[in-house]
Amino acid sequence: MIIIMSTKATTTEIDGVVKRLEDRKVGVHMSQGAERTIIGVIGDRELVSRLEIEGMEGVERTVSILQPFKLVSREFHPENTIIDVGGVKIGGEEIVVIAGPCAVENEKQLIESAWIAKTRGAKILRGGAFKPRTSPYSFQGLEEEGLKLLSKAREETGLKVISEVVNPRDVDLVASYVDIIQIGARNMQNFTLLREVGKLDKPVMLKRGMSATIEEWLMAAEYILAEGNHQVMFCERGIRTFETYTRNTMDISAVPLVKRLSHLPVIVDPSHGTGKWSLVSPMSKAAVAAGADGLMIEVHNNPQKALSDGPQSLNDDNFASLMQELVSVIHAIGRTCDFGDFLEKEKGFCCEE
């Protein structure tokens, strides 16, 4: 259930409603909008129905949330959630690009890839330090040494950093180095891990599982929000189908659907979504046109020598071309971008109207 407070409700009236809820031992989640306060109530349905909230001062009405996901839903939070990652805002009018290699391999590879990302206008650097791989014999990542290299790349370039955590016991370690915690597709329903990142005061990117339905994906996010962390963004990265020409099937329809069902930002990863570098550019433009709030793109200083995901990684020239091509799409749908001086000075592109 959600409690919609009157636009004229006082702080005392809001506090009175919250106190009654807390006295009854039900979950209380506040959503402060521009004009009114909405209070989410999580608990046994029969108990909640007996609270007699509608008669309290300052309450406009109560509404039952029909969706199984409560805190994630637009019914609870009608306005778009904007996540502030150290000044980089995800979920607003600006399209944010996250770029970097699949895995942190060594210092030279990461720093060079980071500068490619920075120069071409990305604002967040991606790089895996802990790599869950299909084969136990594949490169598994540099672990904490990789996190230290990501931290060094952040110091040199000013980019924010995102990296994946795969084990609940490593949550605090990874969180101490990165600006955004990533939950990968294979761990989307690792509920112990979801609860652990839910206890953090740090943004979380939740990738869609390779066979997950939309509802399962939203319910996974609910685990994180239920623990108190509302800084969650979704990442569509393709789902597994019968098609073999691509690594995964990029579900573009998920973008507007999730944006309609939820207030949380949606990022698209066309690199994993297709597995082919030549498809990354068209699918990136399609994702933006469909309403994505940002893109997560694999960029490598030398894709031919990458230890993982080389075939889907863009080099400097390909990434620069993509960033240029995105500008017209972004303008066409009424969004904004900030791709730095490179586009304006070297190629004649600029995100200013």
Q: What HEC string does 77-109 produce?
A: CCCCCCEEECCEEECCCECEEEEECCECCCHHH
Sequence-ordered alpha helix ranges (H) in 107-143: 107-120
Joined tokens for residue 322: 């993509």
- Tell me what the mean pLDDT of segment 57-71 comes to: 84
**% residues pLDDT > 70 (the chain):** 93
- How far is Cα of residue 228 from the mean position of the Cα atoms in its chain? 16
Amino acid in the structure at residue 194: L
Identify which of 186, 252, 270, 162 has the alpha carbon closest to the alpha carbon of residue 214: 252
Residue 44 predicted with pLDDT over 70? no
Residue 28 predicted with pLDDT over 90? no
Q: d(Cα 15, Cα 37) in Å, to the nearest integer?
A: 11
Mean pLDDT in the chain?
91
Q: Is 23 helix (H, G, I), strand (E, B) or coil?
A: helix
Lowest-confidence pick of 69-78, 161-170, 271-280: 69-78
Identify which of 162, 163, 255 has the alpha carbon closest to the alpha carbon of residue 214: 255
Residue 350 predicted with pLDDT over 50? no
Residue 205 predicted with pLDDT over 60? yes
Q: What is the pLDDT of residue 45?
A: 63
Phi then psi dihedrals of residue 304, to 5 deg: -65, -25
CA atoms within 13 A on the CB side of 202: 22
Q: What is the pLDDT of residue 141?
A: 72
DSSP 267-296: EE-HHHHHS-HHHHHHHHHHHHHHT-SEEE
What residues form DSSP beta bridges with 83?
A: 90
CATH class of the 2-63 domain in this structure: alpha beta
Is residue 340 within 8 A of residue 120, CB to CB? The reply is: yes
Q: What is the CATH number of domain 83-345?
A: 3.20.20.70
- How far is Cα of residue 347 from the mean position of the Cα atoms in its chain? 30
Q: What is the pLDDT of residue 353?
A: 39
How buried is 128 (Cβ within 10 angstroms: 0-12 exposed, 13-18 middle, 19+ buried)?
buried
Q: d(Cα 21, Cα 27) in Å, to the nearest integer?
A: 8
Q: With bands split at pLDDT 50, 70 and 90, how would you rate the model's confidence at 49?
A: low
Q: What is the pLDDT of residue 340?
A: 47
Is residue 212 within 8 A of residue 184, CB to CB? The reply is: no
What residues form DSSP beta bridges with 126?
A: 162
pLDDT one-digit tens code per residue, 295-340: 999 999 999 999 989 999 999 999 999 999 999 999 999 999 988 4
Q: What is the pLDDT of residue 39?
A: 87
**Would you tell me how many other CB atoms lie within 10 Å of the CB of residue 67?**
16
Identify which of 317, 331, 335 has the alpha carbon closest to the alpha carbon of residue 281: 317
Joined tokens for residue 311: 């075939």
Joined tokens for residue 30: 């506040």
Q: d(Cα 232, Cα 182) in Å, to the nearest integer?
A: 10
The ranges assigned to domains in the chain are 2-63, 83-345
**pTM strictly above 0.85:** yes
Residue 81 predicted with pLDDT over 60? yes
Q: With bands split at pLDDT 50, 70 and 90, how would you rate the model's confidence at 136?
A: confident
Residue located via tokens 């066309």: 270
Identify which of 246, 252, 283, 281 has the alpha carbon closest to the alpha carbon of residue 266: 252
Q: d(Cα 79, Cα 152) in Å, to the nearest integer?
A: 36
**% residues pLDDT > 90 (the chain):** 71
pLDDT one-digit tens code per residue, 219-268: 999 999 999 999 999 999 999 999 999 999 999 999 999 999 999 999 99
Q: What is the pLDDT of residue 343?
A: 52
Q: With bands split at pLDDT 50, 70 and 90, how would you rate the model's confidence at 351?
A: very low
Q: d(Cα 138, Cα 93) in Å, to the nearest integer?
A: 39
- Tell me what the mean pLDDT of segment 51-76 comes to: 85
Residue 342 predicted with pLDDT over 60? no
**Would you tell me how many other CB atoms lie within 10 Å of the CB of residue 82?**
14
Higher pLDDT, 130 or 290: 290
Joined tokens for residue 143: 């672990």
Q: What is the pLDDT of residue 135?
A: 74
In eight-state DSSP terms, residue 348 is S
Q: With bands split at pLDDT 50, 70 and 90, how would you rate the model's confidence at 352?
A: very low
